[in-house]
Amino acid sequence: MSMMKRLTLAAFGAIAMLQVSPLQAQQATEIRLTYSQGQFQPSQVSAPADKPIAFRIKNLDAKAMEFESSSLRVEKVVAAGTEGVVNVRALKPGRYEFYDDFNEKARGALTVQ
Amino acid sequence: MRWAIPSGRLHTTALCAIACLFACANGTARAEDASSWRELETKYIFGFTTGSGIGLEGEKEFTVESLGRFGKRDGSYAATETKYEFEFTPSQFIQIEFGALGSTHNISGVTGLDDRSQAALAGAFAEFRYLAIERTSNNPLSVTLAVEPTVRRIDETSGERVRNFEFETTVNADIELMRNRLYAGFNLLYEPEVTQTAIGDTQREAAFGGSAALSVRVVSNVLIGGEVWYLRHYDAANLTSFTGDAVMLGPTLYVQFTPKIFMVAAWNTQVWGREIGNPVSLNLAEFQRNRAKLKFAWEF
């Protein structure tokens, strides 16, 4: 096997191993958000550190919204009048902002402690 | 293409341009409140230097990225390589990219290279990125490891028909120095490759180096900055046969047109270089006098 093939296989193997985290198997902390009149309710939420989180977002508005966060590294479009679930990895303590990518003014933050 | 500006003056111009950009950045930065800005994805804000960002889980992106290399010791030299790229982020730690390469070569009167004027489908590539250290509000440092295997049928430098296999390995790190405002990026690069020429010769070589970049967010959707690269070239994949090195320096620009569309532009000029066994200024055997990058991306 050539050095190139061995390096490629090693890289794939390393990435696959790093992906498997025991924390993923933990029970997720559920955070319920409502999106109405272009705002998140509540807009400030909190969760414990080192546990996965599941955002459950109910969009009550008449148009779609996109739940997005650069620091949480997630995005999901939630159609009008529907509910979407966004699963987030176990987080370290800190403040993580989220927003509606379709609406500059709709913002919120998750505090992990 | 022959450059009308003498290289010394070009270097001074590049340095002045960077200084002006930072002066403008400081003035504009003071006038705007960065705390109201959204957080930024850092992958593309440093020009040729790649930030640690891996995108958002579920995000897909199509990009067209052209890299131009201009100027050799003599004659006229212009070569471009364009990536037509699809990238996606299947998890909150991994990003995958792949695509096709197109190239153009316009070479005339350059010692050691055949004259040619051509455009071709040059090859294909894939990239795998793993976020090893993530930034939080308590930790400004973020680090991503990336590997990019590439296959080419057209030689990057000469435009000749070849079989080339490259395995670029990089460490992409960045630090948020001022919240939502000022970022520093660092890359470490190891790029071994093997090339089989049309007459059956096999050539092994490698590039090794690193970069440092600074980028200032002057308004919420525009970043300007500068970067410096130090690159070494070897005629062996295991870094045993050193042939020369070079320092590239230049300004960078990032513009977010809409939440889903952005562009990147960068220009690097070789400000110092040496060829082993050839006492001339700059290294124009393995590197170019100038290089440029222009990228457009559409997220969906």
pLDDT digits (tens, 9 = 90+) for A38-76: 999 999 999 999 999 999 999 999 999 999 999 999 999
Is residue A14 pLDDT above 80, yes or no? no
The CA angle B288-B293-B297, to the nearest 5 degrees, is: 160
Contact A7 B167 (CB under 8 A): yes
- Cα B70 to Cα B128: distance, rounded to the nearest angstrom: 29
- Cα B151 to Cα B177: distance, rounded to the nearest angstrom: 37
CA dihedral B12, B212, B207, B72 (to 10 degrees): -20
Judge whether B148 is closer than 8 Å to chain A, CB to CB.
no
- Cα B168 to Cα A34: distance, rounded to the nearest angstrom: 45
ipTM confidence score: 0.78
Q: Domains of chain B (ranges plus CATH)?
A: 7-299 (2.40.160.40)
pLDDT of residue B36: 84
Q: Which residues contact A44 (CB under 8 A, 6 or more apart)?
A: A108, A109, A111
- The domain segmentation of chain A, as residue ranges, is 26-112
Contact B94 A11 (CB under 8 A): no
Closest CA to A46 of A29, A68, A24, A23: A29
Chain B residues in contact with A93 (beta carbon < 8 A): 136, 138
A70 within 8 A of A26, measured Cβ to Cβ: no
Chain A (73-102) residues lying within 8 Å, Cβ to Cβ, of chain B = 73-76, 88-89, 91-97, 99, 101-102
pLDDT of residue B300: 87
Per-residue pLDDT of chain B (300 residues; tens, 9 = 90+): 333 334 444 455 454 455 545 545 555 545 567 888 988 899 999 999 999 999 999 999 999 999 999 999 999 999 999 999 999 999 999 999 999 999 999 999 999 999 999 999 999 999 999 999 999 988 999 999 999 999 999 999 999 999 999 999 999 999 999 999 999 999 999 999 999 999 999 999 999 999 999 999 999 999 999 999 999 999 999 999 999 999 999 999 999 999 999 999 999 999 999 999 999 999 999 999 999 999 999 998
Q: Which CATH class is domain A26-112?
A: mainly beta
Interface with A, mutate which of B134, B144, B179 (most A CBs under 10 A): B134
Classify residue B274 as exposed, middle or buried by CB count within 10 Å of its CB (0-12, 13-18, 19+). middle
Confidence of residue A9 (pLDDT cuts 50, 70, 90): low
Tokens matching residue B198: 């049309």
3-state secondary structure of A50: coil
Interface with B, mutate which of A7, A73, A104, A112 (most B CBs under 10 A): A73
